[in-house]
Structure 1
Amino acid sequence: MGFTNVELSIDSQVVVYVIQAGRMQGSAGCTVLKKIRRVMEQDWIVKVSHEYREANKVADSLANIGCSIE
């Protein structure tokens, strides 16, 4: 038994658009977009939406920690 519904909240409207449209201009990030689309096409429901960074401070803090580790 696994997840069947996933909600992906992103703080970049551009990234939300690119993921939903499934295409982007230029080659930067194209490989990542293909991987995201491949995962989304599996047997589950994925809802991608924009959420302002200030509305989800926990996710923003975790992202900042992840960036500082690299």
Structure 2
Amino acid sequence: MGLLLAFRGEVCMTSSLNIRFRRPVPAPGAVVVQSWVKEERAGRWIVLGEIVDQSGRVLAGAEGLFVGVRGRESRV
């Protein structure tokens, strides 16, 4: 989820991260990992993410609070 912000050019640290495991993740197996910004305000971002299986079932969901770091450049 932090990588999403890095691709946007933001340099940040994880302040909090809550993960809800809903179903076992198959291994080996193919899954989709997706994330998006829910809220952005004053150098803080709330980012949501999911791991979804091939049938579209959510296997895990997460919400993270990320805080910007000043004076650093993204290296992504």
TM above 0.5, one fold?
Answer: no
TM-score (norm. length: structure 2): 0.23
Relative contact order: is structure 1 or structure 2 higher (C-alpha 8 Å, sep ≥ 6)? Answer: 1
Greater per-residue strand proportion:
2
Greater per-residue helix proportion:
1
